[in-house]
Every structure is written in structure tokens, then in C-alpha cells.
Amino acid sequence: MPLLLTEPDRYHQLLAEKQQRVSAFFDGLTIPTPTTFESPPEFYRMRAEFRLWHEGNDCFYAMFAPEDRKTPIRIDEFPVASQAMNELMPKVLAALNSSELLRLKCFQVEFISTLSGEMLVTLIYHKPLDDDWLAAGTALAETLGCQLIGRSRKQKIVIGNDYVTEQLTADKRDFKYLQYEGSFTQPNAIVNQKMISWACQQAAGIAGGDLLELYCGNGNFTLPLAKYFNKVLATEISKVSIKALLQNCEINGVDNIEVARMSAEEVSEAIRGVREFRRLREIDLASYNLSTVFVDPPRAGLDDFTREMVADYDNILYISCNPETMARDLKQLSETHEIKQFAFFDQFPYTHHMECGAVMRGI
């Protein structure tokens, strides 16, 4: 990840400027006044990765400015990251600097934390990891009280678990999520709770029926939204995310969700009857009364086929990490739907990135 400087004293000013820039993408659309959900100005990020830079027998965390990817900038503290991560970072670095075995050819360190302070650390190497490394890594994990993973080419050694368990409070309910190393999760847990609560509030205003969710990930939105629908058909292409979603359903006692490992385009083809898929052989699509669709697509937004399919639904809940592609999609969807609610979620303070949410109803 690129170097990011925090300016807590200017947070609200910078957020207002970002809102103005992002709003310009939606010029020409009729949208309600957006509701804005702020982030804490510091200690908000639950994930981070650093290059490990070596100078002689010493090493340090390094990041790079976007305009210069070759000159390392030493990182001794990182107020963007959670308090737990800031507390653990120097301990990991001290351990690496005191052990040639752990330090040698380690080139990247990744951290995942939770609101409760649970930590997972991944050390990535340009060398095979042997039994000596396993012994040293096991001792390190015990000393630090964290989960630890060692990675090298075609190797993944897990000491403890390869996930953390996050507990989020949203929609006045608590949810537990297994968050696996190497899979996508929302990085700003505080804002994520606000996003989930907002989505549930919008779903509460929709009259029943069933929900289709595309790009469901580990069930971040799926589990809380399931309360507001009779059944949920959730789709995702990542095997790790689907594994986490199924486990998260069990942990949280949610039993009205069916999961299909399919891309958004494939789901569109199946629902429209263009193709049949063996992966859907145990799911009775005809039994669903799908009146609402929830989408949280990647930065590219909706593909043409999916955008046309989404337009068939009475209600569209749309969360986006890319306002530019979202604006493109909403302009086409506005031919058949009216934007009833709109929101900004500042997942990424001090950057140009802004998450947006929209609720659309068929005209």
C-alpha cells in the first residue's frame, strides 16, 4: 500500500473537499442530499502491509510515495492503522532484527487486526521455509500472542489460525466474521459497521420478498440483511470467501441464505435462462421471489449484462468503492429506477477514495 499521511486536525475540512469532488461525478443525476458517515481521524484501518527494507543486519518497515516507487520511506509508527497494530508492529520488528533466521530474505510483513485487538501477522520470504523457521516462528507467535503465517513460493505455513474473528455491531445486533488472510474484507471496521447499519435501514423499508446479492464476499452485508428477506441467494467467485461465508452463517445462526460460486455475469445468465449451470443444480431458482438485488461490485462496477439484469428488479441496493463507475451505472439505471437514498462512507480518510451507497426503486 502507498504511503499515507494523516492530518487529524484537518480531517473534516479534507472530508468536505472530498465530498465536493465526488459529488461532481453524479452531476446530471437527480439524487437526494447525501448522508455522510465519517471515519475516526486516526487508528481506523484493520489491515496494512509493509515492505521490509534491509540495511546491513538491520531492517525496518518501509512504504513508498505514489510518485516514487523506488525510494523507501521508513515507517516507525502508522497512525492510520488500529491501536493493536501500532502496538504489535515494533515487537515484530524487534523480533526480526534479533533473529537472522526470521529476518533473512523476509521482504514483506502484513497485518490483520480486529476491533477486539486480535492479530494475524504474515511474513513473506524469498526463500524456502524449513523446520528451523517453523520452530522460530512458533516461538514468536507464542511470545507475541498472535496468529502467524509464513509464506514463500508455493509455501504457506500457518501457526495458529489463518484468520481472525471480527465482531461487528451493526443494526443494533452483533455479528461474528471469520476474516481469512489473503481474502477481501472491509478495511475500516468502524465505517463498515455504519455501512451495514445503513444498508439494513434501507432494507427495512422494502416489503419482503427474496434478495439476490452479487459479490457477497464473506457475508459482510449478507448476514445482517438476511433478517429483512424471506430467503437470500448470495453469489461470489472466491472459494475462500465462500468458505468464510458458510462458516459465518453457522456461527451467527443464519439459515435462510443459499450460496452459489458464480460470477455476476453467470448469475445474470442463469436467472434470465440464457444458460444452465451445474453449480446451481441444488438451488431451485424458481422458488425465489427475487424483488431486490444488492450489489457491491469491484472498482470496475457492473458489466453491461449485469447492469441490464439488475434493471429488472423493483429495488436496487448499490454499494460502491468507485464513485466514477457507480455514476456510470446509475445513469443507465435511472432510465428505469429513481434514486431514493444516497450516502457517502469515508472508508479511506486522507485519500481521494470514497465509498457510496444508493437505493433505487423502479419507476
Residues involved in catalysis: 321, 355
**CB atoms < 10 A from the CB of 291, how many?**
18
Q: Are 307 and 333 in contact (CB under 8 A)?
A: yes
List b or e across 176-198, with b for residues whose CB sees 16 or more CB atoms inside 10 angstroms: ebbbbbebbbbbbbbbbbbbbbb
In this structure, are strands 315-320 and 173-180 parallel, antiparallel, or unpaired? unpaired
Cell reading at 226: 438476511
Which strands sit side by side in the sheet containing 290-295, from one edge to the other? 35-37, 337-345, 355-362, 315-320, 290-295, 210-214, 232-236, 257-261
Smallest Cα–Cα separation from 56: which of 103, 123, 110? 103
- What sign does the CA torsion over 267, 270, 274, 275 have? positive
Name residues whose C-beta falls within 8 Å of residue 150's C-beta, 6 or more positions apart in sequence: 122, 123, 125, 129, 133, 134, 137, 156, 157, 159
For residues 243 and 259, the answer to whether their CB atoms sit within 8 Å is no
Distance of CA 150 to the CA centre of its chain: 23
